[in-house]
Amino acid sequence: MIAPPRLAVRWLEHRLHPDERADILGDLIEQFHRRAAGNPRAARRWFWRQTLALVWGFAIRRRDVVSTTHERTRGIWLLRNAGSDWRYALRSLVAGRGATVAAFLVLALGLGLSTTVFSVINSLLLRPLDFANADRLVRLAEARPPRGPASGAPVLNPSGGEMSDVAIGQFIQTARQLDAVSPYGTTGRNVTTAAGTEQRSIAEVGTRFFDLTGITPLEGRLFQDADGRRDAPEVVAIGERFWRDELGGRRDAIGQTLTIDQKPYAIVGVVPAGFRFPEPGIEIWIAGRWTWPQPGVRRSFMMWTETFARLAPDATTESAAAEARTIAGRMAAADPAFLDGIDVPVPIFRVRRLQDDLVAPVKPALVALGAGMALVLLAAAANLLNLLLARSTARHREMAVRLTLGAGRWRVVRPLLFEQMLLAGSGAIAGGLLAWWLLRSLPAFAPAALSRLADVRLDGASLAFASMVALALALIVGLLPALQLPRANLRTLSAGGAIGRSGMPAGSFRRVLVAAQVALAVTLLVGAALLGRTLWSLSRVHPGYRGGGALTFQIGVPDGLFREPARQSAFFDDLLARLTAHPGVVAAGAASTLPLNNVGLSGSFAIEGRPKPTTPEEWPRADKIGITPGYLDALGTRLLRGRGLSLADSAAAEPVVLINEAVARQYFPGEEPLGQRIDFLRKLFRIVGVVEGIRQKSVTTPANAALYFAAAQVPPVLAFNRLTGGVALRCEHDPNDLVPFIRSTMKAIDPDWPIHNVMRLDDRLDTTFAGPRFYSIALGLFAALALATAVFGVYGVLSYTVERRQAEFGVRRALGGGEAHIIGLVVRQAAGLVVAGLIIGLGLAAAGAEVLRSLLFGVEPIDAATFITAAVFVAAIGCAAAIVPAWRALRVDPVRALRAE
């Protein structure tokens, strides 16, 4: 007998409703056979024509059909009868309450945290500058390594990203590959308005600065080249907020003068509030009027400034870097190699894309957080999958029945998928809300490097991310069980209640999932623990000063005032005398550099009686800090040997100096430094004391060699620096109580000199901890979440096996198996899962810990103790999760279990 075209038959089988499939197809095949007896080929053609006509006819006419039970199934075939499936999904979610809530919580937390991290990464890492041509901007930086054989890594200038005034001048005048070369320096300065004098954030910028971003002013104009000339009137642009708050937002503010440090500046324009390049918070921009020194001219000090530029239309960072090398060569040729015993290093320039530069400091942290986010999402997905597999296993019988009765695979799987979509959807909404809340409250805890966190908003991209991830999770997790549907429907059915007895594939897959969850939890926990160790190590560092009860503040002294030594010392004598007169003050002193500020002055010195070194590298080097007698007492820095400074060390007395441990160790090994003299600034300073090292730059950087001079015995520029220096106080009680007293004292001396950065030393120190604390809390949260999913996982799998092995446990109990024996059986299974997870997790952690290296302090990325502790902790928790199922296994009643069999 000739068979009808198979493809056509299959097609019809697929298209026709199961109820009518048999008779319609049967009729068609019957007629086909009659025709095929005459002309088989014509019959086949006829069959195809009829098939097409049927499919077409049903497709267009079905619409006219009055609904019958099966004909109500209209709409897109994928979603036929969707309503009932949604209800079904909802019902089964409600039925499995505990598991549903657990899955929802994990999902909401996972999506919330990862959406937060995504928002942060997206705005800080992927697009840190959001204006046109932002990728053409570069930062110029200059390094000045010593000439001759390098002694260690090339040392950049004071803060690592700045240019010397000589170099800036060369670039502005000769660089062809760069446009709008703009120095940029920020300071706090005293601005006098109708409301009084206040310290304001001010940027002094090159006249082409605003060209970098191409913004237009809200009112008036921005800077022109003419504004930078020495003979031009000094002009400023003011920020929109300052304009509205302080000048009432009046248009006639343009052209008015503003008094900054008691000098008049003409206001030429208003900068819109959205302008936050390269940092937010600047209130006033001064058009800098610099004269750039030429190379080869001897000067006592160099000015260092951040410098930005834009690549010229045809230039690349490479061509700009090549040009910078040419400029460096020219400068080196003009400079003498060695001047007065102080080397003049050859400059090296770095041209770096500004976007990369802004991202660099936060990149390791964000990469670590991003990796943590990915791991948590994986754990959440595994958790969902686990829940679903547990449920679909329980439903295998029902599914088998439906499949056998002719339901399509899609129809059987769809309720499961809908269930996942409901879960993922509600999880995404809750996660979105969580992310929104986190982004609002995070900036308060964020470390300084992440200060731009305040700018991060939950935007369209973040929401799109959350919904995409949720949808992907739902699809993957919902469709996976389709692969696990029983194939041999009838056999499964006839096996009756004993489905799964022989160990369903779902069971082993779930075990793999749980091991993966354990692995993720260990990985994250190791990361969090490493950061926690960092925090602990930091808290144990002795920075060389004692925080409790100490307070520091800076003084907004106008430029140029302290050029007169007499006036400067008179001012500090007066101020410190008034402060120490307060009964609550134990000690007070001023210094040219406060702890955790950049060091103002650093360089070489000579030791009396030793031959002058012939190469620059051999010269002793140290930070040089001018202090008043009470300063070290106020900080709580200990005097190790000799004596401290006193008021007797006046300008007229013998010049003296204190050295720190580092100087004693490096330059006086095995010698008595006390009594020796240091040759500096053509004077000889006698060493009278050795003090402990102060970690000046940061808590994590060991103390540099440092010399402490008596302020009264050195030039004013060394005795005090208004940018880095300030006053330290030590009090008997909470130093914050003294702030009003300090303010009134300052006002009594001069109402136009405001104080700023008033901070307890403890709070200053705390900024160091903010970073590690933030990262360890973030990773800790991730780890906790992953651990929770692992616990759910272990618990779920064991409960399931205990249920399946009830009969076995019953028999074992009946045959006299002891409690320990039964518990051992269950816990051993848990241990297997956990150990497998631990091995993978520790491997993952070892591979990933390197990412954290730059965030760690006092602990190596591969730290055995941390790894072992995390592993033991996870193992304990994993086995604890086995207790409830084990207890249940004990309670199995042998008689009932056997009867059920």
Partner 1 sequence: MPHTGRGDIEHFVLVALLRLGGESYGVPILEEISARTGREVSRAAVYIALRRLESKGLVASRMGEASAERGGRAKRYFRLTRTGAAQLEETRRAFERMWADVEHLAKKAAR
Contact positions toward partner 1, by CB under 8 A? 1, 3-4, 9, 20, 22-31, 33, 50, 53-54, 56-58, 61-62, 64-68, 71
Segment holding 842, helix H or strand E: helix 819-852
- Residue 581's contacts (CB-CB under 8 Å, 6 or more residues apart) are none
The token pair that represents 547 in the structure block: 């925080």
**Chain-centre distance of CA 739, in angstroms?**
34
Please, what is the minimum distance in Å from the beta carbon of residue 470 to partner 1? Answer: 42
For the CB of residue 59, give the shortest distance to partner 1 in the complex, in Å.
Answer: 9
Tokens of 37: 């007896």
* CB nearer to partner 1: pick between 31 and 192: 31
Strands 639-642 and 683-691, how do they pair?
Answer: antiparallel
From the CB of 6, what's the least distance to partner 1, in Å?
11
**DSSP designation for 281:** -
Q: Could you tell me which residues are beta bridge partners of residue 137?
A: 310
Read off φ and ψ for residue 274, nearest 5 degrees.
-70, -10
3-state secondary structure of 231: coil
- Closest to 373 (Cα-Cα) out of 462, 454, 477: 462
Q: CB of 396: closest distance to partner 1 in angstroms?
A: 29
Burial 245-275, CB ≥16 within 10 A → b, else e: ebbeeeeebbeeebebbeeebbbbbbbeeeb
Nearer to partner 1, 58 or 290 (CB): 58
Cβ 67 to partner 1 shortest distance, Å:
8
Select 65 or 339, whichever has its Cβ closest to partner 1.
65
Only one residue has tokens 């955790």, namely 596
Residues 889/817, Cβ–Cβ less than 8 Å: no
Closest CA to 594 of 640, 625, 548: 625
Q: How far is the CB of 76 from partner 1 (least distance, A)?
A: 20
Q: Is the peptide bond before 278 cis (omega within 30 degrees of 0)?
A: yes
CB of 411 to partner 1, least distance (A): 21
The first and second tokens of residue 339, run together, are: 């001047």
Please, which residue, 77 or 410, has the CB nearer to partner 1?
Answer: 77
Nearer Cβ to partner 1, position 3 or 749? Answer: 3
Query: Judged by CB, which is closer to partner 1: 67, or 441?
Result: 67
**CB 77 → partner 1: shortest distance, Å?**
17
Looking up tokens 């530029």, which residue turns up?
309
What is the nearest approach in angstroms of partner 1 to the Cβ of residue 53? Answer: 6
CA atoms of 261 and 443, how far apart (whole Å): 32
Residue where the block lists tokens 């933030």: 774
Q: How many CA atoms lie within 13 A of 146 on its CB side?
A: 17
Cβ closer to partner 1: 23 or 564? 23
Min. distance of Cβ 37 from partner 1 in angstroms? 11
- Which is nearer to partner 1, 4 or 161 (by Cβ)? 4
Q: Which is nearer to partner 1, 32 or 285 (CB)?
A: 32
- CA nearest to 104, candidates 387, 438, 372, 370: 387
Q: Which residue pairs from 90-98 have beta carbons closer than 8 angstroms and sit at least 24 positions apart in sequence?
A: 90/422, 92/391, 92/415, 92/419, 93/419, 93/422, 93/423, 96/387, 96/391
Smallest gap from Cβ 65 to partner 1, in A, equals 6
**Shortest Cβ 486–partner 1 spacing (Å):** 25
Measuring CA to CA, which residue among 796, 853, 824, 724 is closest to residue 388? 796
Give least dist CB 882 to partner 1, A: 53
Do residues 726 and 188 make contact, with C-beta atoms less than 8 angstroms apart?
no
What is the closest distance, in whole angstroms, from the C-beta atom of residue 827 to partner 1 in the complex?
55
**Which residue, 63 or 97, has its beta carbon nearer to partner 1?**
63
Neighbouring C-beta atoms of residue 70, cutoff 10 Å: 10
608: how many CB neighbours lie within 10 A of its CB? Answer: 12
Q: Are 644 and 633 in contact (CB under 8 A)?
A: yes
Strands 602-604 and 621-627, sheet pairing:
antiparallel
Angle at 275 between CA 454 and CA 179, to 5 degrees: 125
- Helices (DSSP H) in 554-676: which residue ranges? 565-581, 631-635, 661-667
The smaller minimum CB distance to partner 1, of residues 18 and 160, is found at 18
How far is it, in rounded angstroms, from Cα 194 to Cα 183?
Answer: 31
> Measured from the CB atom, is 1 or 94 closer to partner 1?
1
What is the distance between the alpha carbons of residues 887 and 203, in angstroms, rounded to a whole number? Answer: 69
- Among candidate residues 162, 172, 169, the one with its CA nearest the CA of residue 295: 169
Cβ proximity to partner 1: between 53 and 464 the closer is 53
> Based on CB atoms, which residue is closest to partner 1, 29 or 811?
29
**What whole-number distance in Å separates Cα of residue 529 and Cα of residue 776?**
7
Q: How far is the CB of 883 from partner 1 (least distance, A)?
A: 57
Residue 675, SS3?
A: coil
Question: Closer CB to partner 1, residue 54 or residue 585?
Answer: 54
Closest to 288 in 3D by CA, of 183, 214, 165: 183
Question: Rounded to the nearest whole angstrom, what is the least distance from the CB of residue 23 to partner 1 in the complex?
Answer: 3
